[in-house]
Amino acid sequence: MIAFQVEDMTSVQGVNAITRAVRRLDKKARIEVDLDARRVAIEPAGAGISELGHAIRGAGYTPVQTQPGRDRLVVVAASEQGSLWWG
């Protein structure tokens, strides 16, 4: 699991933008988000740390690599149509 602190991710729109950017890079990645803590954890299927960070930066956010935490993460899954569902 690769984790990023993303302090400028302050809304669901930010979660959606980051999720879409990561999915474009790695369609099979598992993405977990804690919006309150502004933390994104990714279990990539093929992408590396620098590629994931670049994808998040490309979405307009500032990721800082950190240790993954599991206290309040919410799994974000994308349907085939690209809509996001909160689990």
- Dump pLDDT digits (tens) for 26-76: 999 999 999 999 999 999 999 999 999 999 999 999 999 987 655 444 444
Buried b / exposed e over 5-28, threshold 16 CB at 10 Å, is: bbeebeeeebbbbbbebbbebbee
DSSP string, 7-75: TT--SHHHHHHHHHHHHHH-TT-EEEEETTTTEEEEE-SS--HHHHHHHHHHTT---EEE----SS-EE
Ordered by start, the domain boundaries in the chain are 2-86
| Residue 49 to residue 44: CA distance in whole angstroms | 9
- Dump pLDDT digits (tens) for 52-64: 999 999 999 999 9
CATH 3.30.70.100 fits 2-86, yes or no: yes
* pTM to 2 decimal places: 0.76
